[in-house]
Chains A and B, each alone.
Chain A
Amino acid sequence: MSVLEYIANGLVFSSIIVLASIGLSLVYSIADFANFAHGDTMTVGAYGTLVTFGFVGGLGGTVLGLPYGFFVALVVGIVVAAVVAVVTQRLVYEPLDIGSIGLLITSIGVAFVYRALVRLGFGADPREYAVELQRPIEALVPYGIRMTVHDVAIVGSAALLVTGLHLLLQYTDLGRKMRAMADNPDLARVSGIRTGRIRIWTWLIGAGLAGAGGGFLGLYNNVGPRMGFDILLVVFAAVILGGIGSVYGAMLGGLLIGMIDQMTPILGDVGIPIGTEYSYAIAFVIMVAVLLVRPTGIAGEAGS
């Protein structure tokens, strides 16, 4: 029955990866560089949540084992991450005219600065949200699934955010403009789209989703200065696997990579002597294999 358990674990972990991947892919689609500060943007979101939660605390009732205050704090965390990212974009990335490799290296520097500031403010030790740790949901245990209501909250919230983004992209004016700009910024501009404004919106949404991912990662594991950086490589794998620049590809890639990571114990169970310490390596091998067949990633557009 352990396979169901691994799937459940994978679903929770994937939810976090998906949120982070979408943001990374969105930013890539309009800013045209791989933002290595994305992981640390997640960290910023998590600390934003942590601090706010310290103030609002157990506000009101609880849903899924989490006080309403947690969701308020999470929203603040999202806003903080988004604002920090946009400010960085205005102060650092936008004035720089150095091409995508230069921006990539710059973003690594930005990541260090974020992390150093977090460490200055909060120290290097991992922290926990002051929420009670949950036991597995009794009804699911007989099936071998050991999920807590917090896990359900993570998966549910991620699904909600992803659906919201889908609706935004497909059915709103802003979404259409974002897609137009991702496809062809010059054409978008001559069509009368205010690309500067759309760029800001895309940064806000991308970094906000990263903040949400960070907030949930803190709930799933703990809140520490390296949390975002430590997960960034898998997030990149997910984005590349899905096809960089594609939001829907990032969703799929995130789901796959998170699942693969958490399904690694199956190898041991069927007698293949590959331990879980190789789970990232396996995820990357699969990523490379997929790229060999489909160089643009699963949902990437050919010839872009």
Chain B
Amino acid sequence: MTADDNRLNRRDVLKGTGAAGLAGIGLTAGCVSTADETPTPTESSGGGGGGGGDDDDTATPTEGGDMGAYEIGMVNSLTGSLSAFGARNERGMELALESVNGVGIGGRELSIIVEDSESQAQAGVSAAQKLVNQDQVPFVIGAVGSGVSLAIYESVIQSTDVVQLSQNSTSPDLTNFPGLLRMSPTGRTQSTALADIISEDGYDSVAVAWVNNDYGQGLRDAFVDAWEGDVAYDSPHDQGQSSYSSTVSEMANSEADAWLFITYQPEFTAMAQEAFSNGYEAQYYGADSVQGSDVLADTPEGSLEGMKIVTPSAAVEEQNYQDFASRFEEAYDQTPSSWAAFAYDCVITAALSIATADEFTGAALQETVRDVTRPEGEQVTTFAEAMEVLGEDGSPSDIDYQGVSGPIDFDENGDPVGFLQIFSVEDHEYVSTGFTSA
């Protein structure tokens, strides 16, 4: 990446610079998928003589009449421990491309170069380097694991104006990087929603039992931050303990009337049984991890009556989600997961930001990507509808894309609004009682 090399080579091998300077890592990542997925070399050579984006002045507009596809990148977990997520993302992405290319962006198509992160930070960074430096995409969707997303942001994206939008990362850490957008809300939103619900129900004191790991600690911290009342009991417990009677006794002795469980199903089941056997009664609340049919089967009828549980959810009652779900079922013969919905919305959001940008560059997309989902404009639920509202020269604030995964509405930290479904236990069944965003 030295300047000397660049200057010497620029005249002779315009296109070569990016590759030459950065080939070291980019090429070792040289994934199988690259060979057949770079169909428009003309465009990248036309647009990006500067190599990598540290040369802003050379980023020429793309209006030079080329009608090839807009190319963006995606770092996905095609292999490795998160490959199940990768597969869901693939499906969501393909459906979204169908939606976008059915309409087109100003007569051009959208194409996505997919690279594998192997679910690991090192390989993820290589994949992103290849996309940014070699393929010169201005928009990268990626990655799945939070650690991978952060590594990519810190070592590849941060110094450029390329847009990064993570499809599946949920760690609270990403909130500290406003430049790194994500589609999946942080786990914190669940805690905030729970704090709101408990105080709306009129309780000012709560007993919180949380499982002693990152998940429990994270949700508990966020809850305590958001909760304004008294926390009468606030203790962790280990998974797989042989006895939870001390936990339950202490919750009862704390004399809080609202009990919040941030733990897993078997642990919660044991505690609910213990509370029942001890004759304790309280209003229960729970994180989504305590919800399950096994829990209902193993607790006595009536022992959970009125319990409220908040779970992250796609916009399952909206028309656009239902259309998405039925298309998904038709194509893949299974119901979509929320992860597929996140990937779907990533692609639509990217397409809308391209459609409203002045030019196809990272700098221009940075200007539009947040606004297309924010509440200022007219609410639209599909890509086609959005393009209709935008017409010939709409601006990003004319539309407010409502995703299949929720309202999105990126905040100043690049986090979407959490869209959550509230369940309550009635007659020993989970009944959806509404949605909330936080």
Among B235, B238, B277, B298, the residue within 8 A (CB) of A222 is B298
Is B294 an interface residue, CB under 8 A from the partner?
yes
Is B377 an interface residue, CB under 8 A from the partner?
no
Q: In the assembly, what is the distance between CA of A12 and CA of B236, in Å?
A: 23
Contact with B along A250-280 (1 / 0, CB 8 A): 0000000000011011001100000111010
**Are B235's CB and A276's CB within 8 A?**
yes
Is B109 an interface residue, CB under 8 A from the partner?
no
Q: A217-B242, A221-B243, A227-B242 are in contact. Are A2 and B249 (CB under 8 A)?
A: yes
**Are B279's CB and A146's CB within 8 A?**
yes
B274 to chain A: closest residue by CB: A221
Distance in angstroms from B55 CB to nearest chain A CB is 55
Is A224 an interface residue, CB under 8 A from the partner?
yes
**Are B250's CB and A265's CB within 8 A?**
yes
Is B184 an interface residue, CB under 8 A from the partner?
no
**Are B238's CB and A277's CB within 8 A?**
yes
Q: Which of B65-73, B265-273, B426-434 contacts A (4 or more CB under 8 A)?
A: B265-273
Is B171 an interface residue, CB under 8 A from the partner?
no
**Are A224's CB and B278's CB within 8 A?**
no
**Are B277's CB and A146's CB within 8 A?**
yes
Q: In the assembly, what is the distance between CA of A6 and CA of B250, in Å?
A: 10
Contact with B along A116-146 (1 / 0, CB 8 A): 0000000001101000111110000100001
Distance in angstroms from B236 CB to nearest chain A CB is 5
B325-349: which residues lie under 8 A (CB-CB) from chain A? none
Q: In the assembly, what is the distance between CA of A269 and CA of B253, in Å?
A: 9
A9 to chain B: closest residue by CB: B245
**Are B277's CB and A150's CB within 8 A?**
yes
Is B247 an interface residue, CB under 8 A from the partner?
yes
**Are B250's CB and A135's CB within 8 A?**
no
**Are A13's CB and B278's CB within 8 A?**
no
**Are A264's CB and B246's CB within 8 A?**
yes
Is A299 an interface residue, CB under 8 A from the partner?
no
Q: In the assembly, what is the distance between CA of A148 and CA of B303, in Å?
A: 16
A214-229: which residues lie under 8 A (CB-CB) from chain B? 217, 220-222, 224, 226-227
**Are B277's CB and A277's CB within 8 A?**
no
Q: In the assembly, what is the distance between CA of A12 and CA of B280, in Å?
A: 18
Residues of B within 8 A of A6 (CB): 246, 249
A133 to chain B: closest residue by CB: B300
Q: In the assembly, what is the distance between CA of A224 and CA of B298, in Å?
A: 13
Is B240 an interface residue, CB under 8 A from the partner?
yes
Contact with B along A1-37 (1 / 0, CB 8 A): 0100110010011001000000000000000000000
Give the contact-size bracket for chain B: 20 to 34
Distance in angstroms from B302 CB to nearest chain A CB is 11
Is A76 an interface residue, CB under 8 A from the partner?
no
Residues of A within 8 A of B277 (CB): 133-136, 146, 148, 150-151
Is A230 an interface residue, CB under 8 A from the partner?
yes
- Of listed B212, B240, B242, residue having the most chain A CB within 10 A: B242
A228-251: which residues lie under 8 A (CB-CB) from chain B? 230-231, 234
B278 to chain A: closest residue by CB: A146
**Are B212's CB and A277's CB within 8 A?**
yes
Residues of A within 8 A of B241 (CB): 230
**Are B253's CB and A136's CB within 8 A?**
no
Residues of B within 8 A of A226 (CB): 240
**Are B266's CB and A126's CB within 8 A?**
yes
Q: In the assembly, what is the distance between CA of A239 and CA of B298, in Å?
A: 33
Contact with A along B158-174 (1 / 0, CB 8 A): 00000000000000000
Distance in angstroms from B247 CB to nearest chain A CB is 6
Q: In the assembly, what is the distance between CA of A276 and CA of B279, in Å?
A: 21
**Are A2's CB and B253's CB within 8 A?**
yes
**Are A277's CB and B249's CB within 8 A?**
no
Contact with A along B174-187 (1 / 0, CB 8 A): 00000000000000
Is B435 an interface residue, CB under 8 A from the partner?
no
Among A128, A148, A231, the residue within 8 A (CB) of B242 is A231
- Of listed A125, A126, A217, residue having the most chain B CB within 10 A: A126
Residues of A within 8 A of B280 (CB): 146
Q: In the assembly, what is the distance between CA of A151 and CA of B246, in Å?
A: 15
**Are B243's CB and A262's CB within 8 A?**
yes
Distance in angstroms from B340 CB to nearest chain A CB is 26
Q: In the assembly, what is the distance between CA of A269 and CA of B250, in Å?
A: 9
**Are B243's CB and A220's CB within 8 A?**
yes
Q: A222-B270, A262-B243, A276-B235 are in contact. Are A128 and B250 (CB under 8 A)?
A: no
A85-127: which residues lie under 8 A (CB-CB) from chain B? 125-126
Is B203 an interface residue, CB under 8 A from the partner?
no
Residues of B within 8 A of A146 (CB): 277-280
Contact with A along B313-333 (1 / 0, CB 8 A): 000000000000000000000
Residues of B within 8 A of A268 (CB): 250
Among B212, B242, B246, B279, the residue within 8 A (CB) of A234 is B242
Q: In the assembly, what is the distance between CA of A31 and CA of B268, in Å?
A: 40
**Are A222's CB and B245's CB within 8 A?**
no
Q: In the assembly, what is the distance between CA of A134 and CA of B270, in Å?
A: 14
**Are B249's CB and A133's CB within 8 A?**
no
Residues of B within 8 A of A264 (CB): 246
Distance in angstroms from B146 CB to nearest chain A CB is 26
**Are B245's CB and A262's CB within 8 A?**
yes
Contact with A along B200-236 (1 / 0, CB 8 A): 0000000000001000000000000000000000011
**Are A136's CB and B278's CB within 8 A?**
yes
Residues of B within 8 A of A265 (CB): 246, 249-250, 253
- Of listed B249, B294, B299, residue having the most chain A CB within 10 A: B249
Name A's B-contacting residues (CB within 8 A).
Answer: 2, 5-6, 9, 12-13, 16, 125-126, 128, 132-136, 141, 146, 148, 150-151, 217, 220-222, 224, 226-227, 230-231, 234, 261-262, 264-265, 268-269, 275-277, 279
Lowest 9 CB-CB distances: which A-B pairs, in order? A146-B278, A276-B246, A231-B242, A136-B279, A275-B235, A9-B245, A230-B240, A126-B266, A133-B300
- In the assembled complex, 27 residue pairs joining A and B whose CB atoms fall closer than 8 Å, in A order, are A126-B266, A126-B298, A128-B297, A133-B303, A134-B277, A135-B276, A135-B277, A146-B277, A146-B279, A146-B280, A221-B242, A221-B244, A221-B270, A222-B266, A222-B269, A224-B240, A227-B242, A230-B240, A231-B242, A262-B246, A265-B250, A275-B235, A276-B235, A276-B250, A277-B212, A277-B237, A277-B238
